[in-house]
């Protein structure tokens, strides 16, 4: 009867949670260009790029509930060519979105009987970006981590396949909408709204108290030298393309690697990953300038025209995360909340080659500590390399809700970056 893990974490910021759940529900369960089983399979493909077993398991069961062919779950070799052709753009969007061109779009739209329509492709692109960014949040907040000795308690996965996020909790009407839809399985796990809100508030208060107590005890038990050694071990500059040293992929508390053995069938070219965006001062065309193509002026209208209403939901979500109260976390950094949040947002976009002409990037180094930049870059670019040490030990000065806030900024900034590149390529194709 506990809350689903992603919902549980986002619940520290209820207004954002409402906006997220509306978008999630619309993408997966409401009318749209793509069949319901294909939506969940695309989500599986996207999550597999980051070895996110949590999201893969969730969407595998949702795929079956939607009437999907079980044979598809054997891997990409067993799915229709039309879906399999999406693999290339999935791979590029997940790791190096700046490589997407109008030729990739043209190839998908002009493959005879297996061609995509523009509306279908926009739906698919939004799904891919949504799931890539959500994988960052899942790893960043530890939703993949099991509860164990010294574990984070609330971050234990909560049998994700039984319900999707919007079925678990919402105050935006998704639960009521689901009850009106003819479903094969009951939604007995849904709770009354008032009881849910009280429960979430109680859980969060108790969690903050337990976390502070645990960290104080950990500080007493650990020697200063050990702490310094750990910091030295993972400290890297933000210019390195490889993940911080000492972070093994998906290593559990016993050191056992639980990697992507069973997820490999859902992706091709597994070695393709993030690389630092090339700095070419002599070739400024490589840089994506927001002044030339922005979400507000270009992306929003295009996506909303081809996939009705999704633009409004995405725009609300982008605005919601920007409007979250972050005075405490910003005060700790000695700046205004808006300045601190913009520093994180622009730093993430900069890693994907997106630049704002009206921003002084020297502010990033002034606002963000080195350890914080390491964390942000890891969760953004290779989230599967994130481990509990980065979340717990190096963020002792932040409350849990503040850590979740930063992870929400990572989620939305990354999603918008992927969408900008994909939508720009679609725009260029249409021209």
User: What is the per-residue pLDDT across 60-77, written as a single tens digit (0 to 9) for each?
Assistant: 999 999 999 999 999 999
* Per-residue pLDDT at 143: 84
Q: How far is Cα 155 from Cα 141, in angstroms, rounded to an integer?
A: 7
In tens, the pLDDT along 244-269 reads 333 333 333 333 333 334 799 999 99
Q: Which residue bears the tokens 């490999």? A: 264
Label residue 159 left, alpha or beta by phi (over 0 means left) and psi (-120 to 50 means alpha): left
**What is the three-class DSSP state of 355?**
strand
Residue 341 has pLDDT above 70, yes or no: yes
Q: What is the pLDDT of residues 150-178, one digit of tens each?
A: 333 333 333 433 445 555 444 444 433 33
Beta bridge partners of 288: 354
**Active site (annotated) includes residue 141:** no
Among the ranges given (87-96, 192-201, 378-387), the one the predictor scored with the smallest mean pLDDT: 192-201
Residue 315 has, within 13 A of its CA and on its CB side, a CA count of 16
How confident is residue 234, by pLDDT bands cut at 50, 70 and 90? very low
**Alpha helix segments (H runs only) across 159-309:** 165-168, 174-180, 193-221, 224-234, 300-306
Among the listed residues 216, 210, 193, 105, the one whose alpha carbon sits nearest the alpha carbon of residue 151: 210
Question: Are 349 and 417 in contact, with CB atoms under 8 Å apart?
Answer: yes
pTM for the model: 0.76
pLDDT of residue 110: 85
- 9-13, 153-157, 318-322 — which is least confidently predicted? 153-157
Position 184 scores a pLDDT of 32
> What average pLDDT does the segment 126-148 reach?
85
Here the tokens at position 113 are 């009987």
Report the share of the chain in percent with pLDDT over 90: 53
Which residue would you say has higher pLDDT here, 427 or 190?
427
Confidence of residue 116 (pLDDT cuts 50, 70, 90): very high
pLDDT tens, position by position, 373-412: 999 999 999 999 988 777 776 667 778 888 899 999 999 9
- Catalytic residue selected from 52, 141, 164, 381: 52
Q: How high is the pLDDT of residue 164? A: 57
Among 39-43, 186-190, 281-285, which is the least confidently predicted range? 186-190
DSSP string, 176-219: HHHHHS--SS--TT---HHHHHHHHHHHHHHHHHHHHHHHHHHH
């Amino acid at each position: 009867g506990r809350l689903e893990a992603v919902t549980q974490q986002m619940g520290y910021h209820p207004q954002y949670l409402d906006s997220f759940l509306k978008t999630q529900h619309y993408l997966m369960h409401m009318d749209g260009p793509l069949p319901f089983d294909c939506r969940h399979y695309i989500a599986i493909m996207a999550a597999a790029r980051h070895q996110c077993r949590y999201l893969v398991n969730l969407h595998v069961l949702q795929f079956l509930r939607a009437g999907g062919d079980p044979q598809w779950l054997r891997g990409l070799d067993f799915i229709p060519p039309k879906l399999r052709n999406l693999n290339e753009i999935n791979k590029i969007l997940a790791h190096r979105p700046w490589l997407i061109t109008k030729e990739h779009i043209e190839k998908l739209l002009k493959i005879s009987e297996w061609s995509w329509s523009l509306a279908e492709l926009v739906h698919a692109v939004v799904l891919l970006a949504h799931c890539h960014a959500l994988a960052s949040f899942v790893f960043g907040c530890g939703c993949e981590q099991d509860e164990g000795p010294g574990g984070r308690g609330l971050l234990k996965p909560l049998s994700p396949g039984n319900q999707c996020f919007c079925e678990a909790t919402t105050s935006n009407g998704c639960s009521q909408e689901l009850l009106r839809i003819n479903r094969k399985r009951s939604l007995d796990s849904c709770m009354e709204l008032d009881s849910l809100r009280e429960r979430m508030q109680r859980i969060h208060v108790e969690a903050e108290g337990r976390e502070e107590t645990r960290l104080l005890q950990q500080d007493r038990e650990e020697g200063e030298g050990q702490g310094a050694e750990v910091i030295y071990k993972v400290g890297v500059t933000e210019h390195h393309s490889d993940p911080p040293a000492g972070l093994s992929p998906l290593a559990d508390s016993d050191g056992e690697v639980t990697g992507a053995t069973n997820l490999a069938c859902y992706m091709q070219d597994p070695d393709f990953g993030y690389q630092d965006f090339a700095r070419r001062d002599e070739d400024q065309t490589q840089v994506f300038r927001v002044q030339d193509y922005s979400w507000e002026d270009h992306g929003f209208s295009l996506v909303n025209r081809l996939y009705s209403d999704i633009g409004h939901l995405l725009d609300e979500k982008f605005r919601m995360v920007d409007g979250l109260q972050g005075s405490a976390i910003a005060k700790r950094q000695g700046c205004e909340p808006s300045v601190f949040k913009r520093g994180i947002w622009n730093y993430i976009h900069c890693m994907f080659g997106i630049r704002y002409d009206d921003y002084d990037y020297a502010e990033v180094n002034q606002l963000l500590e080195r350890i914080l930049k390491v964390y942000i870059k890891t969760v953004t670019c290779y989230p599967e390399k994130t481990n509990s040490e980065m979340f717990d030990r190096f963020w002792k000065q932040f409350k849990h809700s503040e850590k979740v806030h930063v992870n929400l900024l990572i989620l939305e900034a990354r999603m918008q970056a992927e969408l900008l590149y994909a939508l720009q390529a679609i725009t260029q194709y249409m021209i």
